[in-house]
Amino acid sequence: KSIQDDFTPINLSVIEATFSGADEITPSLLVEKGVAETKGSKAPRIKILATGEVTKKFTFVGCSVSAEAKNKIEKAGGKVVA
């Protein structure tokens, strides 16, 4: 089973285009906005990838984040909460 089976990958470019600044990004919010789909009756496991740039200050909660994506998020003033 690959990581693709466990996680729904989402690029920073999609987050940047979909959300305004200062949003708290959670798996359930990504489903609500149509960026991700539920897996059965529960929110998907999300992996944020570094493709694209981020200029807005986002807080990511309950999402896995690649090291490069985390650097970009923090550089823009955002944060990743485990």
Residue 22, amino acid: A
Cβ neighbours of residue 64 under 8 Å, at least 6 residues apart? Answer: 7, 45, 46, 47, 48
16-73 pLDDT tens trace: 999 988 789 999 999 999 999 987 888 899 999 999 999 999 999 999 999 999 999 9
6-30 pLDDT tens trace: 899 999 999 999 998 878 999 999 9
Distance CA 33, CA 41 (A): 17
Residue 5 is predicted with a pLDDT of 62
Indicate the pTM of the whole model. Answer: 0.89
